[in-house]
A and B are shown apart, each in its own frame.
Chain A
Amino acid sequence: MNPNSTFRQDLPDSLVARFRAGDLDAFEQIYRRFERPAFTLALRLTGQRESAQEVLQDAMLKAFERVQQFRGDAPFWGWLRRLVVNEALMLLRKRGRFDDAPFDEDAFADHAPGPWQHADAQNLERALAELPDTARAVLWLYHVEGYTHVEIAEQFGRTVSFSKSQVARGTQRLRELLHLEPGFAPCLIHAAGNAS
């Protein structure tokens, strides 16, 4: 996980206990602490602010209603983050835009420094938002949230190859969107983008 992420916050046990007891003030405190990282994660996964709003609300409400399921043997933030990821992926499924097209990751292997290293945040965000839903979500979970390919495969109900393919596809698509010469089979890239 991104070590700078503000999602990684340890909460006082007393706050979690009050939250468990259904205390709305505790709920608000927790919301205030996590609203930005939770909304940002939802935004990165869904690519749309409106969808991120919906995901944030639903995830927070589920946290409030299902906090009894939080066993306390892992950090609260991890449990909450999983709720956000689940809600976001559920919304993507509703959109019916999960991209299952096969992708030859080896054909697009490119470990050269990417254009993102010199792109400003606005351009990179714009390009990210233009990625196919699946590729963007997988790319973010893998690179920023620190999910493994196995975990992503479980989360999506797919294979490890699916996760690897999506990372490769998303990476390559980002290169193209940032107007750097991709150097590999552009027709396939366009086909991948249109397919999703």
Chain B
Amino acid sequence: MNMFPPHPDAHHDPDGLRQALSRLPEHSPQAGTWATIQARAVARRRTRQRLRRMLPLAAAASLLLALGLPTLLDQDATPPGTQTATQPTTLHTVQTSTPAIRHATSTTQTAPATLAALQSRSMRMEQWLSELRAGGAPLQGPALARAVDLQDRIGLVDLQLSAPSDAAARKTLWQQRVNLLQDLAMLRVSQSPVSDQHAMAESRGAALQL
């Protein structure tokens, strides 16, 4: 408002009041006003920065929560006729094998939908984990040992899955695989700096919606 030349009627000054008011002197604020303003500005900036730091933390917390919620597994129904992995990928080859798996189709799919959901979930989590590893710092110490242990156990499950078994057994094995991947994901997130957790939280959407 009023950033332009005033309307002509504002210059109407038959009794000289405008002129008299315009001649009044300017006044100065109290000494130290700038110091107060500066302090308030800095305090508000710190508050905003804290909020900005807290948001990724909150997102990371929600990520951990989401990964730990078994109910999510039941929401991952794979649409009929789309890709379904019947054999797990390995953690070491996931980046190169994922596209092939995505386009793989099973002609022998007889297991219930929950098995397909577990397989789909497993594939997405592996892909997400591979992206985390590519973008994050390597694990060290106890965290590295824990990660190696989890990967070994996943490899054991993969070995069992490669052998012939009935549908119920396969479902159990796939459930174990997903659980181990969740543990691995949580380990990864917990070992990452706060700044990286924001990116993880953002990619969480991709992990859960692929």
Contacts and interface: CB of A to CB of B under 8 A. Distances in A.
Interface of A: 1-2, 4-6, 22, 24, 27-28, 31-32, 35-37, 39-40, 43-44, 49, 52-53, 56-57, 60-61, 64-65, 74-75, 78-79, 81-82, 110-114, 116-117, 119, 121, 124-125, 128, 139-140, 142-151, 154-155, 171, 174
Given A113-B16, A117-B20, 15 more contacts: A39-B26, A39-B27, A39-B28, A49-B27, A53-B30, A78-B2, A111-B15, A116-B16, A116-B20, A119-B20, A124-B20, A125-B24, A144-B21, A151-B2, A171-B17
Given A24-B42, A28-B34, A114-B16, A147 B2 contact: yes
B16 A145 contact: no
B41 A64 contact: yes
B2 A146 contact: yes
Contacts of B25: 121
Interface residues on B, range: 35 or more
Contacts of A140: 21
Given A28-B34, A82-B2, A121 B23 contact: yes
Given A75-B3, A146-B2, A40 B20 contact: no
Interface stretch (B6-14, B88-96, B134-142, B146-154): B6-14
A149 B23 CA distance: 22
Contacts of B21: 2, 116, 124, 128, 139-140, 143-144
Contacts of B41: 24, 27, 61, 64-65
A104 to B, nearest CB: 18
A89 to B, nearest CB: 12
A40 B2 contact: no
Interface of A is mostly: helix
28 contacts: A2-B22, A22-B45, A31-B37, A35-B28, A35-B33, A35-B34, A36-B29, A39-B28, A52-B27, A52-B29, A57-B37, A64-B41, A78-B2, A78-B4, A79-B3, A111-B15, A114-B15, A114-B17, A143-B10, A143-B13, A143-B18, A144-B18, A144-B21, A147-B6, A148-B6, A148-B9, A151-B1, A174-B17
B109 interface: no
B103 interface: no
Contacts of B33: 35, 53, 56-57
9 tightest CB-CB pairs across the interface, nearest first? A146-B6, A78-B3, A148-B7, A74-B3, A116-B20, A111-B14, A143-B18, A2-B22, A39-B29
B82 to A, nearest CB: 44
A154 B1 contact: yes
Contacts of B3: 74-75, 78-79, 82
- The residue in B2, B26, B42 that gathers the most chain A C-beta atoms within 10 A of its C-beta is B2
A162 B175 CA distance: 74
Contact of A113 (B4, B6, B15, B42): B15
Contacts of A111: 14-15
Interface string B26-55: 111110011011101110110000000000
Interface string B144-174: 0000000000000000000000000000000
A60 B37 contact: yes
B149 to A, nearest CB: 47
Contacts of B30: 53
B2 A112 contact: no
